[in-house]
Amino acid sequence: MDIYIKPAKKVSLTGAEHNAVYIKDLAEIIAPPEISPKIKTLKILSPEKGKKKSYLVSVIDIINVINKALPGNTINNVGESDTLVEYAPTKSRDNAVWKWSKIIFVSLLLLVGSATALMSFHSDAQLPQIFKNFYYIFFNEKVDNPIIIELPYSIGVAVGIIVFFNHFAGKKITSDPTPIEVEMSVYEAEVTDMEIDVLNTRRIKNGDAS
């Protein structure tokens, strides 16, 4: 019989819900109805109790467990070749004070950093002088602060930032992912790949590649 497995790249489990890690925790299974429930409840590993730790589960591990329990079947992998299992004894609880402290600190950091970047750009590009020249071209008059040009430019910068980041007042303008969400997704994927590589290297050095 054909068995299809689709392992995930990363799963997070807690001891309150999982004393052991089963195939159903790591992968989607498509198999004949008479054997599918048994495959899902096959144990892959037993995490160390009371210890937060990451584990690496190879698709070979899953295939070996299935073959031992149900020999003679054809197992097809249509998912990831390695799964990173992040195990924690208990669910982490967010500290409201610490959370808002981080939000305020990061917001201030971004505000100061973006303001410095904009002022540096305006200084390097001599934007105030450009505004004065534009005002002279259109109105044939020299002024030190051409508000009629500076004000629309300032509004345009704010609108441009809002549109670019696709976020305003805690709400998304469109359903598209924001640039920050894209970068966070890329960052998390790279971190997961790095952890998998490290665990794979450690596993090979320890002679546990089987």
Three-class secondary structure assignment of 159-200 = HHHHHHHCEECCEECCCCCCHHHHHHHHHHHHHHHHHHHHHH
Phi, psi values for residue 74, rounded to 5°:
-95, 120
Q: How confident is the model at residue 179 (pLDDT cuts 50, 70, 90)?
A: confident
pLDDT for 110-157, tens place per residue?
889 988 988 898 888 888 899 999 899 988 888 888 889 889 998 998
* Domain endpoint, select from 88, 123, 146: 88
Instruction: Tell whether 208 is covered by a domain.
Output: no
pLDDT of residue 209 exceeding 70, the answer is no
Whether residue 49 is found in the same domain as residue 28: yes
pLDDT of residue 210 exceeding 60, the answer is no
Whether residue 65 is found in the same domain as residue 135: no
Q: Which residues contact 201 (CB under 8 A, 6 or more apart)?
A: none
Instruction: Tell whether 30 is covered by a domain.
Output: yes
DSSP-derived secondary structure letter, 141: -
Bridge partners of residue 21, in order along the sequence: 45
Mean pLDDT of 193-210: 81
Whether residue 75 is found in the same domain as residue 104: no
Whether residue 71 is found in the same domain as residue 158: no
Whether residue 60 is found in the same domain as residue 118: no
Q: Where are the beta strands (DSSP E) in the chain?
A: 2-7, 10-14, 21-22, 27-30, 43-45, 53-58, 74-77, 82-88, 167-168, 171-172
Whether residue 22 is found in the same domain as residue 59: yes
Give the model's pLDDT for residue 175. 82
Sheet holding 53-58, edge to edge: 10-14, 82-88, 53-58
Give the model's pLDDT for residue 17. 65
d(CA 80, CA 163): 36
Mean pLDDT of 26-36: 92
Q: Which residues contact 110 (CB under 8 A, 6 or more apart)?
A: none
Instruction: Tell whether 133 is covered by a domain.
Output: yes
Give the model's pLDDT for residue 206. 77
Q: Are 178 and 162 in contact (CB under 8 A)?
A: no
Whether residue 138 is found in the same domain as residue 119: yes
Instruction: Tell whether 52 is covered by a domain.
Output: yes
Share of the chain above pLDDT 70, in %: 96
Q: How confident is the model at residue 166 (pLDDT cuts 50, 70, 90)?
A: confident
Sheet holding 74-77, edge to edge: 27-30, 2-7, 74-77
Q: Which range marks the domain in which residue 109 is found?
A: 96-199
CATH number, residue 39: 2.60.480.10
* Domain endpoint, select from 29, 58, 88: 88
Instruction: Tell whether 64 is covered by a domain.
Output: yes
Instruction: Tell whether 209 is covered by a domain.
Output: no
More confident residue, 93 or 27: 27
Instruction: Tell whether 13 is covered by a domain.
Output: yes
Instruction: Tell whether 206 is covered by a domain.
Output: no
Whether residue 131 is found in the same domain as residue 188: yes
Whether residue 155 is found in the same domain as residue 122: yes
Whether residue 109 is found in the same domain as residue 190: yes
Whether residue 76 is found in the same domain as residue 101: no
Q: Into how many domains does the chain fold?
A: 2
Mean pLDDT of 52-67: 92
Whether residue 66 is found in the same domain as residue 26: yes
Mean pLDDT of 155-183: 83
Following CA atoms 186, 208, 19, 64 in sequence, which dihedral angle do they give, to the nearest 10 degrees?
90
Give the model's pLDDT for residue 192. 93
